[in-house]
């Protein structure tokens, strides 16, 4: 007799690693991971995905995939992925469906994180959630009235590319004064370096500087590092005040390693939001760090598959 298929496979495809797990709800049954081999092009990274997902398939009834880039979730097509060489208009859903004979659903990686945190993490039991990720880039996603917001073209929630300073410096996308230009990892580091060129700082001992190291130094009282976070927090706060005016979320969740920096980051964000957000005195906004860490993307991708397949109970 055929064994009952127990779970759903969640896959998180990043520029460096592919992380996957067989899950039921929030429970991870079995994990697997491998390198993406992004630099070797489409064929190689596709075969890496197949190789790492395949062993989990016999116990799975569907696959949900979160991947960075512009995704047509209805068709399961990756239109473009910035971290993966040669990925242009790739019908990932169709390819994997043919390979594994399972339903496959594809969505943007930050939307997957947003779904995961909403259902199982910092956004539990909330109807309106806005989440943004701080890493190399700054991504965003929104749950509105209990539903993931895709937008007309699948681009909704791109917090990193909202303008907070009209005459600001140029962003990686080519436009000026975007949130990412202030809160993206390399820009946080560049801000610290500019200050370090003029003043003494405990950060000088590092050859390679990261936002996490700057946060540590800030916590230990380094004034340069503190200033960096006060400024970055201010710019994020301006962006968050805009989000609040638009979406009126119950909670704003900050994801990504640096979100664990605590008060150093959250205080200036909260201060700016209370001074700038429309009707701040009438609203009770929570701005909080994400709770699921690396698992948010896997759990959210699996949840997306679960929510999309009608009539499937997990
Ligand atoms: Zn931009």
Concatenating the DSSP letter of every residue in the chain gives -PPPP-EEEEEEE-SSEEEEEEEETTEEEEEEEEE--GGG-HHHHHHHHHHHHGGGGGGEEEEEEEESSEEETTTTEEEE-TTSTT-EEE-HHHHHHHHHSS-EEEEEHHHHHHHHHHHHSTTTT-S-EEEEEESSSEEEEEEETTEE---SSS-TT-GGGSBS-TTPPBPTTS-BSBTHHHHSHHHHHHHHHHHHTTS--GGGG-SS--HHHHHHHHHTT-HHHHHHHHHHHHHHHHHHHHHHHHH--SEEEEESGGGGGTHHHHHHHHHHHHHHSTTGGG---EEEE-SSTTHHHHHHHHHHHHHHSTT---
Average pLDDT over residues 32-50: 95
d(CA 48, CA 17) in angstroms, rounded, equals 10
Give tens-digit pLDDT for 188-226.
999 999 999 999 999 999 999 999 999 999 999 999 999
The set of long-range contacts for 185-189, using a CB threshold of 8 Å and a minimum separation of 24, is 185/134, 185/135, 185/136, 185/210, 185/211, 185/258, 186/136, 188/214, 188/228, 188/232, 188/258, 189/214
Ligand 1 mean position, distance from CA 104 (Å): 30
Ligand 1 mean position, distance from CA 174 (Å): 6
Q: Could you tell me the pLDDT band of residue 311, with boundaries at 50, 70 and 90?
A: low
Average pLDDT over residues 13-37: 95
Ligand 1 mean position, distance from CA 282 (Å): 31
**Top-level class of domain 122-289:** alpha beta
Q: Could you tell me the pLDDT band of residue 1, with boundaries at 50, 70 and 90?
A: very low
**Non-local CB neighbours of 246 within 8 Å, separated by 6+ positions:** none
d(CA 247, CA 87) in angstroms, rounded, equals 32
Q: Where are the domains of the chain?
A: 7-108, 122-289
Ligand 1 mean position, distance from CA 126 (Å): 29
Ligand 1 mean position, distance from CA 54 (Å): 37
Strand partners, 252: 130, 287
Ligand 1 mean position, distance from CA 183 (Å): 11
Average pLDDT over residues 152-166: 93
Ligand 1 mean position, distance from CA 150 (Å): 19
Give tens-digit pLDDT for 252-301.
999 998 999 999 999 999 999 999 988 877 877 899 999 999 999 999 99
Average pLDDT over residues 165-183: 95
Q: Could you tell me the pLDDT band of residue 130, with boundaries at 50, 70 and 90?
A: very high
pLDDT value at position 3?
Answer: 59
pLDDT for residue 313 is more than 50? no
pLDDT value at position 242?
Answer: 96
Write the CATH number of the domain with boundaries 7-108: 3.30.420.40
pLDDT value at position 238?
Answer: 97
Same fold yes or no, 7-108 and 122-289: yes
Q: Could you tell me the pLDDT band of residue 310, with boundaries at 50, 70 and 90?
A: low
Q: What is the pTM of this model?
A: 0.94
Evaluate whether 193 touches 174 at the Cβ level (below 8 Å): no
pLDDT value at position 314?
Answer: 45
Ligand 1 mean position, distance from CA 162 (Å): 7
Ligand 1 mean position, distance from CA 82 (Å): 13
Ligand 1 mean position, distance from CA 250 (Å): 26
Ligand 1 mean position, distance from CA 72 (Å): 21
């Amino acid at each position: 007799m055929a064994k009952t298929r127990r779970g759903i496979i969640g896959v998180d495809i990043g520029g460096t690693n592919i992380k996957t797990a067989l899950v039921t709800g929030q429970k991870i049954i079995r994990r697997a991971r491998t390198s993406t081999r992004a630099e070797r092009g489409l064929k190689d990274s596709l075969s890496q995905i197949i190789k790492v997902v395949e062993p989990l398939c016999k116990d799975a009834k569907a696959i949900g995939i979160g991947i960075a880039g512009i995704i047509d979730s209805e068709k399961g097509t990756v239109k473009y992925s910035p971290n993966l060489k040669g990925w242009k208009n790739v019908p990932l859903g169709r390819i994997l469906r043919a390979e594994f004979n399972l339903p496959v659903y594809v969505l943007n990686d930050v939307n997957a994180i947003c779904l995961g945190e909403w259902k199982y993490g910092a956004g539990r039991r909330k109807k309106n959630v806005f989440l943004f990720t701080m890493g190399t880039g700054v991504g965003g996603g929104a749950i509105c009235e209990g539903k993931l917001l895709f937008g007309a073209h699948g681009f909704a929630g791109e917090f990193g590319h909202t303008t907070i300073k009209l005459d600001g410096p140029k962003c990686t996308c080519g436009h000026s004064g975007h949130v990412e230009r202030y809160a993206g990892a390399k820009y946080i580091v560049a801000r610290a370096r500019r200050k370090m060129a003029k003043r003494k700082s405990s950060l000088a001992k590092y050859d390679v500087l990261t936002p996490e190291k700057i946060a540590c130094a800030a916590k230990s009282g380094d004034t340069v590092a503190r200033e960096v976070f006060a400024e970055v927090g201010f710019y994020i706060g301006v962006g968050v005040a805009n989000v609040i005016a638009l979406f009126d979320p119950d909670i704003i969740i900050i994801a990504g390693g640096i979100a664990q920096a605590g008060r150093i980051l959250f205080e200036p964000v909260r201060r700016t939001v209370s001074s700038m957000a429309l009707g701040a005195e009438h609203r009770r906004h929570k701005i909080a760090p994400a709770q699921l860490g690396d698992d948010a993307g896997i759990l959210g991708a699996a949840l997306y598959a679960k929510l999309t397949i009608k009539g499937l109970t997990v």
